[in-house]
Amino acid sequence: MFQIKNFIGGRLIDPRGKNYLDNYDPAIGEVYSYVPDSDEQDVELAVQAAEHAFEGWANTSASDRCSILMRIADLIDMKSDYLSGIESIDNGKPKTLAATVDIPRAAANFRFFATAAVQFSTDAHHMENNALNYTLRQPLGVVGCISPWNLPLYLFTWKIAPALAAGNCVVAKPSEVTPMTAYELSKICIESGLPAGVLNILHGTGPKCGAAIVKHPAIKAISFTGSTRAGKEIATVAAPMFKKLSLELGGKNPNIIFADCDFEKMLKTTIQSSFSNQGEICLCGSRILVEKSIYEKFRSAFVEETKKLKIGDPLQQDTSIGAIVSKQHFDKINYHIRVAAEEGGMVLSGGEIAPVNGRCAGGWFIQPTIIEGLPWSCRTNLEEIFGPVVTIAPFETEEEAIQIANSTEYGLSATIWTENLNRAHRMSAAVQSGIIWINCWMHRDLRTPFGGMKNSGVGREGGNEAMRFFTEAKNVCLKL
């Protein structure tokens, strides 16, 4: 069976310990390749390769860095169909989603930060007493990037591209659950002419390989996207070492629907924001709050549209709901559906394992599930489920909606549906989320800072903030 390799010092190599983990195709529930179970020895090798490459890369002109990163973006685009297919097999998501979101956005990440490299600027201040003060921004050295399984190549490149653009060398680890597109990225890096050691990609588990990256003293910063639980563990290790930390963590996002919204537009987008990628997007709205006067209308239309979603083989063109990424995650979502029932929730749609015939009979599929009748303070409404499960309930006033929206430990994103401009601004200021979408969802401008409030993370990624995160800022004062 095919064995994925680590990418260290420009070469595709076996893990030192020769240990491998099973890599499953979740749509059929079977192992289809092996992934390195890397450990401290592999991390050490990768750090040495990155340290060796650092001086050359940091001193490569911004325009040359830009050209190489642009080539990587072009190669991702050229291989888009192939990459979409393997991302779908690795993750269980519909191939059409990978082809329209994950893979184009992965290329866009490289393209955006390639051009950011040549436009990166710094501040200078003339002081009143004849002095010039400026900020000298230099790459940190070797940095670590760790990403999750839900948008595998998209989130992996979102961390790596700004680090490379700012002149750092990277030791990166994708999720062990979805390693395949990161392995393809290794091959693309070789093809693009990226100098050896500038990017090193290690495969393996969080507790073994990820933890070894986080605690390595030569790694100056950690950019992490994943669960709040793992974020806490990482912060515990990295903070006393005074590493720079960017943590993009979990969410329990409210979708607040006012009666004056454009109903049809809201309904179409709410189906996507609830169930895209089987609900396995950190930005999905899992708590749907609906103004009481349109609650009944919304409920019946939402249930009707949800029942039309086609669950099936992720490789088929007309599939809208694919497989859940792993057996472990499948069990977790089913457990939460049982908890919702125990808490008194009423299932309006779904709530069951979805049987899929033929090739995918052994796969891990769950019906898109809508639950009603739960208090906002119950586990189902407080804990991140990260699957195709949403709760719906009515609210009466704006104040009540704000209070419910802010009632969890998370603060990643929120969606607000209203045609009232003043209300839209009031709500945006009052809801405690790092990202607020008004009358839309998942629209991204890469120039804006991206990230969550409260337990959804610290630090902001995107645009200048991401480039700055990966630099050391020196304050230089020159007396004239």
**What are the residues binding ligand NAD (CB under 6 A)?**
146-150, 155, 173, 175-176, 205-207, 210-211, 214, 225-227, 230, 233-234, 248-251, 282, 384, 386, 412, 452, 456-457
Name which of 247 and 393 has its Cβ closer to ligand NAD. 247
Distance CA 362, CA 356 (A): 8
Would you tell me how many other CB atoms lie within 10 Å of the CB of residue 128?
5
Alpha helices in 343-445 (DSSP H): 379-382, 398-405, 421-430
Helix (H, G, I), strand (E, B) or coil at 16: coil
Name which of 254 and 312 has its Cβ closer to ligand NAD. 254
CB proximity list for 262: less than 8 A, separation 6 or greater: 417, 419, 439
Distance CA 351, CA 116 (A): 45
Name which of 198 and 282 has its Cβ closer to ligand NAD. 282
Name which of 269 and 455 has its Cβ closer to ligand NAD. 455
Name which of 75 and 283 has its Cβ closer to ligand NAD. 283
The verdict on whether 282 is a catalytic residue reads yes
Q: Which one of 248, 280, 291, 384 is the catalytic residue?
A: 248
Distance CA 153, CA 84 (A): 10
Helix (H, G, I), strand (E, B) or coil at 445: coil
Structure tokens at 236: 């515990």
The verdict on whether 248 is a catalytic residue reads yes
Nearest distance in Å: CB 434, ligand NAD: 8
Q: Which one of 169, 189, 261, 282 is the catalytic residue?
A: 282
Residue 428 Cα distances to 206, 412, 448, angstroms? 35, 13, 16
Distance CA 247, CA 47 (A): 21
Residue 43 contacts residue 202 (beta carbons within 8 Å): yes
Burial of residue 98 (CB within 10 Å: 0-12, 13-18, 19+) is: buried
Residues marked active site are found at: 248, 282
